[in-house]
Amino acid sequence: MDYFIDALGDICPIPILKAERKLKEIKPRERVVLETDHSCSIASVTNHFRSRYGYPSTIVEVDEGVWQIIIEKTA
Amino acid sequence: MLKVIVPVKKIISRQETAALAVILVFLGAVFFLRSSHAEAAVTASFGFYAGYVMQRSRFCFAGAFRDPFLIKNTALARAVLLALFVTTTGFTAVNFLSTSHLLTGGKIYPVGIHTVVGGVLFGFGMVIAGNCLSGCLVRLGEGYLMQWATLAGLIGGSIAGSGNLGWWNELSIARSPAVFLPGLTGWPLALLLQYALIGGLYCFALVLEHRPPNLRRHFVQALEQFKPAAWFRQRYWPYLVGAAALGLGNTLLFYQWGRPWGLSGGIAHFAGWLCGLIGLNPLKWPYFNNPYFYQTSQYLLNHPLVYLAAAMICGSLFACLRHREFRIRRPRSAKYMLSALCGGLLMGYSARIAMGCNIGGFLSGAGSFSLHGWVLGFAFLGGAYLGGKILVRSFT
């Protein structure tokens, strides 16, 4: 199942903290979809979950300057 | 493993056309400056480059000092250390091989209580504002509304700091020594000390993040980030690539201009100019009537760092439009605006009393082998730790 987090207008590190909290709650193989317009987030969020938890991310550009980051809880 | 999905788009968007307009206007301005104010043409060119690099690499000094505490992530902190490594190496080379010398042009300032107090306030300010001074300028170019509050705060804080500098000068600055490490220990030992400190902190950051760290695998991965394929595949450059590019740019600026990258001085001179417009006389303030503090014969709007700061906004705007990422970005709540304003005020004030921000004070300061740069860096960490606590309590 996918969990949607609206982080539009939030700046670092709030998107990471929101995603991290959700990812701790959900079951393995579920995903978090984080919508953000914060340009730094596409680097900081993906980097954080890859290096610290080993979770892969996909970035979808939904509009100019708006992205959805899909993070999968692999284990 | 990172997949990026980009929807099919028009071949040339309005943003790319605007990017072309921005760079043409900028090149025209630099061409004009070359004859009227040659120093500003150099600093503006560098500013544009730095804004571009910081936007593309998502480089963030505030994150570097905040994330080790808040989310136990040291990727940005390690990138800042790489930028410092490149700056140190570059400055040393320029010092010996050219006519620009650290003792005359470097950021070597007194270290004392004012450095520690200023550093802690600045570290706190940059975390609650969400960005440092350079980050604020880059975000302005990306269309953030929140950073206009930070800029207003920076201007207000700079005015307060410039006016209040006499008090700090008597309390601490005038009584504190400026420590230039090679002057104390000789060049070979100073260089060794500096590299050992940077290397030691880098390894400590790795241990903090992954314990136990696999050093060999880490360095192989770090080197892979420098393959051009790695950065063109992504929508942004890896942090380390941005860090190296900033260090090299800073070196070139020092070579060409004779002085390293600084920013907060530019904001203070701009604030002074604004005060002049409304009939005040900033040249009476302690900051502007002591040549030690402004280090150039050019005042207010003529100060080359004012051009550097403005060009950073242009560089970021260009990078953002060029990659179709520009948008008017509204903060999620009014609380962010307040936080941005307070952070700006603190940063503006503390940059004056500490005699530099994260750029001129820390990166160029420690890169110039000045002890005040290092003390400032550690004080930032203390302030960022406190700021992180407040931030989490207020926004989650």
Distance CA B198, CA B200 (A): 6
Q: Tell me the shortest Cα–Cα distance from A29 to chain B, in angstroms.
A: 16
Q: Evaluate whether A74 touches A52 at the Cβ level (below 8 Å).
A: no
Residues of A in contact with B396 (CB under 8 A): 14, 17-18, 21
Q: Which domain holds residue A2?
A: 1-28
What amino acid is encoded at B376 in this protein? Answer: L
User: Residue A13 falls within a domain, yes or no?
Assistant: yes
Nearest chain A residue to B145 by CA distance is: A9
Helix (H) or strand (E) holding B377: helix B371-395
Distance CA B362, CA B360 (A): 6
Distance CA B135, CA B312 (A): 10
Q: With an 8 Å Cβ cutoff, is A25 touching chain B?
A: no
Q: With an 8 Å Cβ cutoff, is A16 touching chain B?
A: yes
User: Residue A44 falls within a domain, yes or no?
Assistant: no
Distance CA B150, CA B125 (A): 10
Instruction: State yes or no: pLDDT of B218 exceeds 60.
Output: yes
Instruction: State yes or no: pLDDT of B1 exceeds 60.
Output: no
Encoded tokens for B147: 């950073």
Instruction: State yes or no: pLDDT of B320 exceeds 70.
Output: yes
Distance CA B271, CA B283 (A): 12
% residues pLDDT > 90 (chain B): 74
CB-based contacts of B324, cutoff 8 Å, min separation 6: A64, A65, B9, B13, B15, B16
pLDDT at B11: 62
Interface contact A64-B326, CB threshold 8 A: yes
Nearest chain B residue to A64 by CA distance is: B325
First to last CA, chain B: 29
pLDDT digits (tens, 9 = 90+) for A43-59: 999 999 988 888 999 99
pLDDT digits (tens, 9 = 90+) for B241-263: 999 999 999 999 999 999 999 99
Q: Evaluate whether B111 touches B176 at the Cβ level (below 8 Å).
A: yes
Interface contact B236-A37, CB threshold 8 A: no
Q: With an 8 Å Cβ cutoff, is A74 touching chain B?
A: no
| Nearest-10 crossing angle of helices B75-97, B187-209 | 170
Residues of A in contact with B146 (CB under 8 A): 11
Residues B154-166: b if buried by 16+ CB within 10 A, e if exposed = bbbbbbbbbbbbb
Whole-model pTM? 0.93
Q: With an 8 Å Cβ cutoff, is A22 touching chain B?
A: no
User: Residue A49 falls within a domain, yes or no?
Assistant: no
pLDDT at B12: 66
Interface contact B7-A61, CB threshold 8 A: yes
Q: How many CA atoms lie within 13 A of B167 on its CB side?
A: 8
Distance CA B271, CA B39 (A): 20
Q: Evaluate whether B309 touches B3 at the Cβ level (below 8 Å).
A: no
ipTM of the complex: 0.93
Interface size between A and B, measured as CB pairs under 8 A: 112
User: Residue A71 falls within a domain, yes or no?
Assistant: no
Instruction: Point out which residues pair with A60 in neighbouring strands.
Output: A68, B5
Q: Evaluate whether B85 touches B248 at the Cβ level (below 8 Å).
A: no
Instruction: State yes or no: pLDDT of A1 exceeds 90.
Output: no
Interface probe for A, chosen from B2, B131, B323 (most Cβ of A below 10 Å), is: B2
Interface probe for B, chosen from A24, A40, A51, A72 (most Cβ of B below 10 Å), is: A40
pLDDT at B57: 93
Rounded to an integer, what is the distance from CA B16 to the centroid of its chain?
27
% residues pLDDT > 70 (chain B): 94
Give the mean pLDDT of B84-105: 94
pLDDT digits (tens, 9 = 90+) for B96-153: 999 999 988 899 999 999 999 999 999 999 999 999 999 999 999 999 999 999 999 9
Is the bond preceding B7 in cis, omega lying within 30 degrees of 0?
no
Find the CB nearest A48 among B71, B131, B236.
B71
Q: Total structural domains in chain A? A: 1
User: Residue A42 falls within a domain, yes or no?
Assistant: no
